[in-house]
Amino acid sequence: MGAACDDAVQQLARLLDQVEEPLKKTFQNVHQGYPTETLVRFLKAREWHVTNAHKMLVDCLNWRIQNEIDSILEKPIIPVDLYRSIRESQLVGLSGYSKEGVPVFAFGVGQSTYDKASVHYYVQSHIQINEYRDRIILPMATKKFRRPITTCIKVLDMTGLKLSALSLLKILTAISAVDELNYPEKAETYYIVNAPYIFSACWKVSCLRFSLYQ
């Protein structure tokens, strides 16, 4: 980072020192021992504008407290049959690691139906996956490869994608909003694989939808 970036990180750190204790406590679960890297992520998400990054981070910390995110891994989706149905229709999993030790997550976008539960449960499941990644998988990778690993790689598999996938925009928009506002810059690289011709149509509609509502 350059001098200007370092200064922005220091400014944001000083602002964060002024927040209330509950926010500082939940921030520990966010940074997992690497506060500087976390501050950089929020600054990147707001184009290095310190005031905007500070607001984004504080909003995120308040969201965590209001929704009890720190304890979400202790709150399984029940009954078990519902949880299994959600996982079978929301295809995502850790598929390996890059040569540098960065976790690689695969998303079965084309074959995820999101039709076994309400939007609320799919968003809850997604948040639990994020928290497990950030609190378990990334720290384990950091320890194994002996360097800070705070991001991941995402592979989006479009196998089986159909035009009917456009009906899932409500769920996907809700999930995307959670990631954008509360888990910014966590994916260092995206790969799209096995994209059928219909993908271009879905992509154009999705981009239009996001541009209208963001």
Domain with residue 25: its CATH number is: 1.10.8.20
**128 and 172 assigned to the same domain:** yes
**51 and 127 assigned to the same domain:** no
Domain presence at residue 72: no
**91 and 150 assigned to the same domain:** yes
pTM: 0.90
8 Å CB contact between 157 and 121 = no
- Checking if the pLDDT of 48 tops 80, the result is yes
Report d(CA 165, CA 118) in Å as an integer.
16
8 Å CB contact between 73 and 128 = yes
- Strands 103-107, 187-193: pairing kind: unpaired
- Checking if the pLDDT of 168 tops 60, the result is yes
Domain presence at residue 75: no
**55 and 100 assigned to the same domain:** no
Report d(CA 81, CA 79) in Å as an integer.
5
Tokens 């011709």 label which residue?
A: 197
**38 and 96 assigned to the same domain:** no
User: Per the structure, how many domains does the chain have?
Assistant: 2
Q: What CATH code is carried by the domain that includes residue 143?
A: 3.40.525.10
pLDDT tens profile 53-94: 999 999 999 999 999 999 999 998 999 999 999 999 999 999
pLDDT of residue 37: 96
pLDDT tier for residue 196 given thresholds of 50, 70 and 90? confident
pLDDT of residue 211: 41
pLDDT tier for residue 10 given thresholds of 50, 70 and 90? very high
pLDDT tens profile 109-150: 999 999 999 999 999 999 999 999 999 999 999 999 999 999
- Checking if the pLDDT of 213 tops 90, the result is no
**106 and 149 assigned to the same domain:** yes
Residues near 194 by beta carbon (within 8 Å), at least 6 away in sequence = 110, 157, 158, 159
Residues near 47 by beta carbon (within 8 Å), at least 6 away in sequence = none
Q: Which domain holds residue 188?
A: 85-213
